[in-house]
Structure 1
Amino acid sequence: MVNELRSKNHEYVEQIIQLFIHDECEFYNAFKAWSEELAKDVKHLDTPLHYVIREFFSTKKVLLSYIKKYALLNKDKVDFDDIFSWTEIVIKFVNISVTIFIEAYHQNTTKRFLAQEEVINELSSPLIPLQNQTALLPLVGKIDSARGKVILEKTLNQCAAKEISTLFVDLSGVLTIDELVAEQLYHLIESLRLTGVETILSGIRPEIAQMSIKLGLRFNRLTTASSLAKALSSTTKSNDDKERTLL
């Protein structure tokens, strides 16, 4: 990896040197395209950003030192205008490189973050099929509005796909909940009811209950239990009674 990074850095120096051979306008488009390709290099994107930026600035420092050295060795051929012009060009194009790379780095980081967030949402709100068309949705951690929306959409789709008739929603692992999420939870339950799914809530914390009352959300048509174990046992007992009646 180090050797490949060195190779890319060498290519970068060779690109910069072309500034002193070709016209600036002619050089710009080719340099910009090369810089964008460099910014997509996986090994550079996997390198901590401050290391890469430091290398850009180190390269700039080296190039400026060579301009100074050349000017001192050729005082009779080089005037101040040349020195200022060369210095300005080097600074300008190194800054362009830094800008392009930071933009690409940001886009790559954002993509990774969104992908990780999607995986976390998948793992933190799984619909677990049980038996007799029942399923469990254990919710854990902090639920914000974005995650609440994902849970709402995924739960409705999965219940329909798996033909769930009874869903246990356990909130004992939910630490905090805001007003918007409380409303989303209410809408989830109402939406499930309209699609023929009975929802049983368990593990409702006092603060969540108070929030629901404050918002005027009425769960009077909903079965609740203090814990998931009690919710499951009460449903099992109810099913056993139905079976005895049929027998």
Structure 2
Amino acid sequence: MVKEDGIAKYIQNNEEEFQSILLKEAGDVASKIHSILEEGNIDLLSNAKIIALYVVGNKRDELIAFAEVEGISWAKHSLTLALKLEWIHAIRRTLWRLLRKNSPLNVDSVDEFFALEKRINDGIDEFLNNFFISYSRYKDELLIEQRKLVEHLTVPIIPVSSWIAVLPLIGKFDSYRMETIEEKALSEISRLDIETLIIDLSGIPDIDEYTLDKFEKVVSGIKLMGSEPVLTGLMPNLAHKMASLGANYGVDIAIKGTLQRALNEYLFVETS
């Protein structure tokens, strides 16, 4: 009878044969084993044995945990997913071959044979599923962290005096970036004890209505922090959109035509 412990023992006792079959099944991936080891310190042959033993041994928890670790390692080094997919399918085909090779002398039940074959397929699929989830999760988290870093770097609050700072805004804005601006602005107002924050919008050609509403809340938050928001550099179409949406700008918020004019006025007040 072909049992999982028999296949596991066969792999343990015939590791060279297992690797030889695997390399034949792996096709182009076989030639990249050494480069992957150098690039990511990932030993495909050693890991293949671990995966195979977990699969035939029905060690689901260990298999999932190993898949998650592999997914992170593969993502960290930006290794090609197509290579990983082909390698795992090569492990599947290798296990099939070992199963068929050893079954004629040991089969007591056809049902047991196909049950083990199904276990192999299910185990490999389980590994792939958790590998890709782990890989994608790591990449998504990395992208989010990189985006946060970029957004914070592109939201510079520049002190120009002991109580005045400038926040120049440039480029396209969405709700996510507006949240970053709010977080950075409010924290810097508190940290630097800013009494006047000049927000220059000359680099903003347009903002959609939803983001504009978020921006209005940012300005309100600045006021609640005890700082005076001053808007400069409004483009005509942006000013028109603000007016048409009924935004509360211009009533109790200072608006200056240019950043230079605002700086001249506020710095003159400070030094006079």
Indicate the TM-score class for this superposition, using the shorter chain for normalisation: 0.7 to 0.9
In structure 2, what residue type is equivalent to 1:187?
Answer: K
Q: Distance in 2 between matches of 1:219 and 1:31?
A: 59
Give the length in aligned residue pairs: 232
Give the unaligned 5+ runs of structure 2: 1-34
1:95 corresponds to: 125
Question: Identity of counterpart residues, as a percentage?
Answer: 22
Output one character per residue of 1:100-141: Cα deviation in whole Å (capped at 9) or x when no partner: 111111221122112112101211112111114110101122
Call closer, same or farther: CA 1:57–1:234 in 2, change over 3 Å.
same
Call closer, same or farther: CA 1:201–1:15 in 2, change over 3 Å.
closer
- SS of alignment partner, residue 137 of structure 1: strand
Tell me the C-alpha RMSD between the 2 structures: 2.7
1:12 corresponds to: 48
Which of the numbers 250, 255, 270 marks the counterpart of 1:224? 255
Q: Distance in 1 between matches of 2:176 and 2:208?
A: 12
Q: Distance in 1 between matches of 2:88 and 2:160?
A: 57
Q: Distance in 2 between matches of 1:37 and 1:236?
A: 56
Call closer, same or farther: CA 1:153–1:2 in 2, change over 3 Å.
closer
For the 8 Å contact 1:152–1:184, the answer to whether it is kept is: no
For the 8 Å contact 2:232–2:262, the answer to whether it is kept is: yes
**TM superposition shift of 1:8:** 4.0
2:189 corresponds to: 159
2:86 corresponds to: 54
Q: Distance in 1 between matches of 2:112 and 2:255?
A: 81
Call closer, same or farther: CA 1:56–1:175 in 2, change over 3 Å.
farther
Q: Distance in 2 between matches of 1:44 and 1:131?
A: 46
Larger mean CA deviation between 109-118 and 42-51 belongs to 42-51
1:235 corresponds to: 266
Q: Distance in 1 between matches of 2:176 and 2:241?
A: 19
1:137 to 2:171 alignment: no
Give the unaligned 5+ runs of structure 1: none
For the 8 Å contact 1:143–1:177, the answer to whether it is kept is: yes
1:178 corresponds to: 208
- SS of alignment partner, residue 161 of structure 2: coil
